[in-house]
């Protein structure tokens, strides 16, 4: 029996459930369930009704729905190669795309400041290396376990493909509450984690590159980059590319810190200007005057709030772990951040709003846009009905369960899904990787030349006008805006404008997928389809090394 026949036989032996995304999400049926070859695995059967599904099952479920939608596309691609059994080949590639390649658990000891010893548990999951290196953040949290990092790594695979970042997907985590450790202890834990990954050949600029996530930032990224540079990476000129989100003087990128929020802002602008879509959900087009509530006021939540307020929206609520703040007259993100900095990283006691407890209740207050930017499984089948917002922007990874998705779709709420909308961070990380392997900041070699060309262009326009109009007193001058941009052109300008351009580009791809497959407001399914179609083609073109 060949491997492929075995795969197919195994697939047929499994009691499978022909769930169609069409039936689940109440959209017009264009393919009958009986004509679908690809089945949603039986173990995922309860996911759409489960109020607390396993995180990795949630992601797998969404992936399998997209595989069903794309079945004709897959078979069409395979038909060009004249396989004896295209269905078996399709199933083989779908199985590869849905499973996590490997997940490493490392337990290591540390000596604490009080001379006590403690075992630390950490993980790194490599979901998919269809493109290399793989890329994904590392988080520090007591919720970290194998299931969480595998789910997050899968999201990275789909996110990278959706956002056209040419990398596979990975994620890692250390199971600690970072507030319980001193700075010295955190540095020991962080460096040891990186050294362990290096020993297992699990990281490297061409293998798997680390980035920031919950409770990690430039400080931790700097420690990790240095740990690599001082050990295995010491002879490798490209070593800095092993980690992104580093401090500037270690090869970091201007603009990376706020990139996730900046990308979310660009996506919000893009979708809010779509009049047809806004009409469907009952919002007027444009960002100006829109109210929003954000959950999690960390890197993602703070920066997206800042950009949205700058763009004319009003922040009316913030939900943090310990307390929520609500103020229909508006909360100024910078003031709240300033207060939090001076108040042991807590928003409790902030004078600019009413306190709400439990803090999650803020999410169900009146607003136009809800922005969960903390952690997974926040909007569930149990609370989705209470969401008053017309639009959800998923800053966090996996904040909405499939059961909640169903309710939100029925209620005409537009969800901009994580794998599309929060990709600004990893996109900037990709730019940082490019900067590191090229050993030059963006614009360093071109700013001077661009400035000279702009000046020459203006001179040439001036001379042509003088000649054509036969007038000597014509003067073409630079506007203040252009002059400022030319004088102060920076890497950050290049990064942020490319980021916005890329988010718009992938936004158009997602909308096109939704149109092509008649997915209505189900942009999560459309974003997964956008990702899955690209990964499928990569595997198919590379050939499957399975014998």
Catalytic residue IDs: 171
Separation of alpha carbons 303 and 425, rounded Å: 12
Tell me whether residue 189 is exposed, middle or buried, using C-beta atoms within 10 angstroms of its C-beta: 0 to 12, 13 to 18, 19 or more. Answer: buried
- Give every CB contact of residue 150 below 8 A, 6+ residues apart in sequence: 56, 100, 103, 125, 127, 171
Query: Residue 415 phi/psi, 5° resolution?
Result: -105, 120
Shortest Å distance, C-beta 159 to ligand AKG: 6
C-beta of 92 vs 203, nearer to ligand AKG: 203
Shortest Å distance, C-beta 361 to ligand NDP: 11
C-beta of 245 vs 317, nearer to ligand AKG: 245
Binding interface with ligand NDP (CB under 6 A): 212-215, 260, 295-301, 319-321, 345, 359, 373-375, 395-397, 422, 425
171 DSSP β-pair partners: 125
Query: Using CA of residue 22, residue 23, residue 29, residue 31, what is the dihedral sign?
Result: positive
- Tell me the two tokens of residue 308: 């949205």
Query: Dihedral through CA 447, CA 426, CA 213, CA 46, nearest 10?
Result: 160
Out of ligand AKG, ligand NDP, none, what residue 241 binds, judged by CB under 5 to 8 A for its kind, is none
Out of ligand NDP, ligand AKG, none, what residue 244 binds, judged by CB under 5 to 8 A for its kind, is ligand AKG
C-beta of 159 vs 390, nearer to ligand AKG: 159
Out of ligand AKG, ligand NDP, none, what residue 296 binds, judged by CB under 5 to 8 A for its kind, is ligand NDP
Binding interface with ligand AKG (CB under 6 A): 135-137, 159, 211, 213, 244-245, 397, 422, 425-426, 429
C-beta of 140 vs 536, nearer to ligand NDP: 140
Shortest Å distance, C-beta 430 to ligand AKG: 8
DSSP structural state of residue 226 = H
If phi > 0 it is left, if psi is from -120 to 50 it is alpha, else beta; for residue 345 that is left
CA 153 to chain centre: 11
DSSP structural state of residue 521 = T
Q: Is the peptide bond before 133 cis (omega within 30 degrees of 0)?
A: yes
Separation of alpha carbons 262 and 492, rounded Å: 12
C-beta of 21 vs 395, nearer to ligand NDP: 395
Out of ligand NDP, ligand AKG, none, what residue 122 binds, judged by CB under 5 to 8 A for its kind, is none
Out of ligand NDP, ligand AKG, none, what residue 135 binds, judged by CB under 5 to 8 A for its kind, is ligand AKG
In the complex, residue closest to ligand NDP by CB = 298
Separation of alpha carbons 507 and 268, rounded Å: 10
């Amino acid at each position: 029996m060949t491997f492929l026949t075995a795969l197919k036989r195994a697939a047929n032996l499994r009691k499978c459930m022909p769930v169609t995304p069409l039936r689940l999400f109440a959209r017009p049926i264009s393919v009958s369930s009986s004509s679908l070859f690809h089945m949603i695995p039986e173990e995922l059967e309860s996911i759409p009704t489960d109020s607390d599904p396993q995180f990795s099952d949630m992601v797998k479920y969404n992936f399998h729905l997209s595989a069903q939608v794309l079945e004709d596309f897959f078979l069409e691609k395979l038909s060009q190669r004249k396989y004896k059994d295209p269905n078996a080949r399709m199933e083989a590639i779908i199985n590869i795309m849905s499973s996590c390649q490997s997940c490493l658990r490392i337990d290591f000891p540390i000596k604490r400041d009080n001379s006590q010893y403690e075992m630390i548990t950490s993980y790194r999951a490599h979901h998919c290396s269809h493109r290399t290196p793989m890329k994904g953040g590392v988080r520090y949290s007591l919720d970290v376990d194998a299931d969480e990092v595998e789910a997050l790594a899968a999201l990275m695979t789909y996110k990278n493909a959706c956002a056209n970042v040419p990398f596979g997907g990975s994620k890692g985590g250390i199971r600690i509450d970072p507030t319980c450790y001193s700075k010295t202890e955190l540095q020991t834990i962080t460096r040891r984690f990186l050294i362990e990954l290096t020993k297992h050949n699990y990281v490297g600029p061409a293998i798997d590159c680390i980035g920031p996530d919950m409770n990690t930032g430039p400080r931790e990224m700097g420690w990790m980059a240095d740990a690599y540079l001082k050990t295995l990476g010491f002879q490798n000129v490209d070593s800095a590319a092993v980690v992104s989100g580093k401090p500037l003087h270690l090869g970091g990128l201007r603009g990376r810190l706020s990139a996730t929020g900046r990308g979310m802002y660009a996506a919000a602008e893009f979708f809010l200007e779509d009049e047809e879509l806004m009409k469907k959900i009952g919002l007027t087009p444009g960002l100006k005057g829109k109210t929003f509530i954000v959950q999690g006021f960390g890197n993602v939540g703070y920066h997206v709030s800042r950009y949205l307020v700058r763009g004319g929206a009003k922040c009316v609520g913030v939900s943090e772990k310990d307390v929520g703040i609500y103020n229909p007259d508006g909360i100024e993100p910078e003031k709240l951040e300033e207060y939090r900095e001076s108040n042991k990283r807590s928003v409790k006691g902030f004078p600019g709003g009413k306190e709400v407890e439990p803090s999650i209740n803020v999410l169900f207050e009146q607003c136009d846009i809800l922005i969960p930017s903390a952690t997974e499984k926040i909007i569930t089948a149990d609370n989705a009905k209470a969401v008053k917002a017309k639009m959800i922007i998923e800053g966090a990874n996996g904040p909405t369960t499939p059961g909640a998705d169903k309710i939100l779709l029925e209620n005409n709420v537009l969800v901009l899904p994580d794998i599309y909308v929060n990709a600004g961070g990893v996109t900037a990380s990709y730019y940082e990787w490019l900067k590191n392997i090229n050993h030059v900041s963006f614009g360093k070699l071109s700013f001077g030349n661009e400035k000279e060309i702009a000046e020459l262009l203006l001179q040439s326009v001036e001379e042509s006008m003088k000649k054509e109009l036969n007038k000597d007193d014509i003067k073409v001058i630079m506007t203040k805006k252009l002059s400022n941009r030319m004088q102060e052109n920076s890497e950050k300008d290049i990064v942020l404008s490319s980021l916005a351009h890329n988010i718009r580009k992938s936004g158009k791809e997602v909308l096109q997928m939704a149109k092509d497959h008649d997915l209505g407001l189900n942009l999560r399914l459309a974003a997964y389809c956008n990702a899955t179609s690209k990964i499928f083609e990569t595997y198919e073109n590379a050939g499957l090394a399975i014998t």
